[in-house]
Structure 1
Amino acid sequence: MSQTVRGVVSRSKGAPVEVVDIVIPDPGPGEVVVDVIACGVCHTDLTYREGGINDEYPFLLGHEAAGRVSQIGEGVSNVAVGDFVVLNWRAVCGQCRACKRGRPQYCFDTFNATQKMTLTDGVELTPALGIGAFADKTLVHQGQCTKVDEAADPAVVGLLGCGVMAGLGAAVNTGDIGRDDTVAVIGCGGVGDAAIAGAALVGARTIIAVDTDDAKLELAREFGATHTVNATSSDVVAAIQDLTDGFGADVVIDAVGRPATWKQAFYARDLAGTVVLVGVPTPDMTLDMPLIDFFSRGGALKSSWYGDCLPERDFPTLASLYLQGRLPLDKFVTERISIDDVENAFHNMHDHSKPILRSVVIL
């Protein structure tokens, strides 16, 4: 029998979100109903509300979530009722060309639930990133559920579902940062700080945080930054070179995703160094640079998709490191809010009077 629960819905571009009744169907084959415990407010949710992803309104927002499995459909084998899980949007198919070549972290045909959640009048909802977790319950594909140690705080480990994994994975998986490397991270929001935490975790020697906000730069030090550069008062490229013996950093991560910051990353890396783009550009952005510079500097220019993660491999490991006190995931939770406070959390994303890494909805 279907269930009616509360959910946060965006009905039209730019309109304030609403908490309304939504209908969760019984899980079909391969599907799972998860009772959501906590869900982070990610900038991607705001982008959905603003029409920056697509125009398939109404959206059921929320995707950085942890919860407990309450129902399973036919054929579900990887989770059972009662399991504590973190939700993800990379449920690998195992059959696409990336999966068959042993690269499931790039899966090109990831799974979502087949059935639709709806409003009470039957209008179908589009769940954010195939999850839709600003709700008491949500319906997902079994592959979108990753079991982790239930001793972990749901508000903390739920953030592995998107922003934290994107940043940390950009450093560890995409950037392949190693012990004694020099690293620079441009943009010190949640994703950038996660990249800094990842670089610190694997033993980078020098970690340079770059931002325009001194408060954010100070917070970046708590995640492992050894040096900071304020981009409003310093030449970013020159500052990074000065802090790396004049050579530039081995790995530079652009967590902003703008032409100007990407160019800074490109020229601030050492010869044969690596640039990782994890900040998401808008479709209208273009880059104009001399082609000879790409050839003469060598190295690697990479884009990081979801931190090039494999949830079933990475989530349990990172949750374990957090529980061991080796990864400060709890520092990403700035505030805990109710389901009625999501719209206000969106407004706070633009309030620079205090840095908010993540507001987390507690269900």
Structure 2
Amino acid sequence: MSETMKAVICHGPRDYRLEEVPKPVPGPGEALVRVEAVGICASDLKCYHGAAKFWGDENRPAWAETEVIPGHEFVGEVVSIDAAGSKRWGIQVGDRVVSEQIVPCWECRYCKRGHYHMCQPHNLYGFKRVTPGAMAEFMVYPVEALVHKVSKDLPAAHAAFAEPLSCSLHAVERAGITFDDVVVVAGCGPIGLGMVAGARAKSPAHVIALDMAPEKLELAKLCGADIVINIADEDAVQIVKDLTDGYGADVYLEGTGHPSAVPQGLNILRKLGTYVEYGVFKDDVSVDWSIISDDKELDVLGAHLGPDCWPAAIRMIESGLLPMDKICTHQLPLEDFQKGLDLVASGAESVKVSLIP
């Protein structure tokens, strides 16, 4: 077996290169995994483009690192694991497995209190040198990783969708949706579609999806939206108010990362409504905070990663409930990673783009 492999290497913003690098060697208790598919996330794209959230600015230090293999939503086959790792994770050679996107330290106050997704060191696959990602032929799952088995009957790109879907489901959980709620989901990309499906699973009165692309709104219907609104042509705020006797939505889930979606959400919500922010923003966002406080007394919640939601996400994908063939629109060879990034940047031709090493 070759001692090298092909991998995409991040050398900084807009400087990603396909290179031949040493194949990783697992340590005690670790798993060597042959990557079957890796999705390209909107956060991967924003990191590629140099967003301050990743590379820092005058208000924040850099978080991402160079000389790192990107890719944090993936699936692969175990090719090597020792007895300790096999026992800890309940997996063996030949199993198809995913690993949660964060590799917790298990020692900080957040990990010890059960909030491992907010781990202080915050080592995510694909952004830190200590946790190389999956845009490569092989990768290693460290001993601290959280690992789950996935059905081999799924196409690889579908199995890798467990990562964005777990994120969507966490945002839904944060919202505390009840049966009588009118839920609005902003954006029908991979995260928004997962939010639609997760919200529908809570059986609220309505799940309303917002987007500017008619084909994505049709896809939202297949995921569980009973009302869709094209915000390019229709006044979403007025439509929701008309539906709710002038009050507004109970819950707003933001999954676009576009600055305009924030004031849209504040205006579409009723008094005492709940706003959940999942989107990752390239630029800073300004809003009238008096809407949050004096006008409506809103609950504004953040959502990050997909803690404790991976088993549910995997079950949902394996159940066939989601139109995965329509969600996973593009699978490209690793060599075409730049084309993949460009497809995600365009947004017009794709929903979920994956690389197949």
Q: Name the TM tier (shorter chain).
A: 0.7 to 0.9
Give the letter for the 1:41 counterpart: I
Q: Which amino acid aligns with 1:294?
A: S
Mind listing any 5+ residue stretches in structure 2 that lack a counterpart?
56-63
Equivalence for 2:119:
107
After TM superposition, give the deviation of residue 340 of structure 1 in Å. Answer: 1.6
Distance 1:344 1:286, change over 3 A: closer
How far apart, in 1, do the equivalents of 2:343 and 2:114 lie?
Answer: 42
8 Å contact kept, 2:37–2:157 = yes
2:231 counterpart of 1:231: yes
Aligned mates of 1:273, 1:301 — CA distance in 2: 9
1:128 to partner: Cα distance: 8.3
Counterpart check, 1:89 vs 2:101: yes
Contact 1:278-1:305 within 8 A present in 2 as well = yes
User: By how many angstroms is 1:127 displaced?
Assistant: 5.3
Q: Conserved in 2, the CA contact under 8 Å of 1:322 and 1:328?
A: no
Of the three residues 157, 160, 173, the one matched with 1:158 is: 160
Correspondences of 1:32-181 after superposition (within 5 Å): 32-52=31-51, 53-54=54-55, 56-72=65-81, 75-76=84-85, 77-78=88-89, 79-110=91-122, 130-153=131-154, 154-161=156-163, 163-171=164-172, 173-181=173-181
Q: Which piece of structure 1 moves more, 216-225 or 147-156?
A: 147-156
Q: Distance in 2 between matches of 1:287 and 1:236?
A: 20
Cα distance between partner residues in 2 of 1:99 and 1:293: 31
Partner of 2:293: 294
Deviates more, 1:231-240 or 1:195-204: 231-240
- Sequence identity percentage: 29
Q: CA RMSD in A?
A: 2.8
Runs (5+) with no aligned partner, structure 1? 114-124
CA contact (8 A) 2:171 2:278 kept: yes
Task: Indicate yes or no: 2:310 matched with 1:318.
Answer: no
Distance change in 2, residues 1:318/1:36 (3 Å) = same
Structure 2: distance between partners of 1:302 and 1:47: 22
- CA deviations on 1:72-100 (whole Å, 9 max, x unpaired) are 36853324433321122223343322233
Q: Secondary structure at the match of 2:161?
A: helix
- The amino acid that maps onto 2:9 is V
Say which is worse superposed, 320-329 or 263-272, in terms of deviation: 320-329
- Give yes or no for contact 1:27–1:73 (8 Å, CA) kept in 2: no
Q: CA deviation at 1:235?
A: 2.7
After superposition, give the CA deviation of every residue in 1:288-314 in whole Å (9 maximum; x if it has no partner): 41536514422410011014x22xxx3
In structure 2, the partner of 1:339 is 334
Q: Partners of 1:199 and 1:96 in 2: how far apart?
A: 32
Q: Aligned to 1:294, what secondary structure does the other structure show?
A: helix
Match of 2:60 in 1: none
| CA shift for structure 1 position 134 | 1.3
Structure 1 residue runs of 4+, over 6 Å off?
none
Matched with 1:8 is 8
Deviation of the 1:186 alpha carbon: 1.2
8 Å contact 1:89–1:131 — kept in the other structure?
no
How far apart are 1:12 and its partner, in Å? 4.0
On the 8 A contact 2:110/2:118 being kept in 1, the answer is: yes
Which residue in 1 is equivalent to 2:255?
255
**Distance in structure 2 (CA, Å) of the matches to 1:57 and 1:103:** 27
Distance 2:76 2:109 in 1: 32
Give the letter aligned to residue 353 of structure 2: S
SS in 1 for 2:103: coil
Matched residue SS, 1:242? helix
Offset of residue 4 of structure 1: 0.9
Per-residue deviation, 1:152: 4.4
Shift of 1:245: 3.3
Alpha-carbon separation, structure 1, partners of 2:38 and 2:289: 44
Distance (whole Å) between structure 2 residues aligned to residue 219 and residue 274 of structure 1: 25
Residue 207 of structure 2 corresponds to residue 213 of structure 1? no
In the TM superposition, what is the alpha-carbon distance from 1:336 to its structure 2 partner? Answer: 1.9
**1:357 equivalent in alignment to 2:351:** yes
Q: What amino acid is aligned across from residue 155 of structure 1 in structure 2?
A: A
Structure 2 SS opposite 1:306: coil
Which residue number in structure 2 is paired with residue 120 of structure 1?
Answer: none
Within 2, Cα distance between the matches of 1:264 and 1:88? Answer: 32
CA spacing shift, 1:344–1:292, aligned 2, 3 Å = closer
Matched to 1:300, the amino acid is D
Query: Is the Cα–Cα contact under 8 Å of residues 29 and 74 in structure 1 kept in the other structure?
Result: no
**Structure 1 residues 349, 327: CA separation in 2 closer, same or farther (over 3 Å shift)?**
closer
Shift of 1:346: 1.5
Partner of residue 201, structure 1: 201
Moved more, 322-331 or 31-40: 322-331
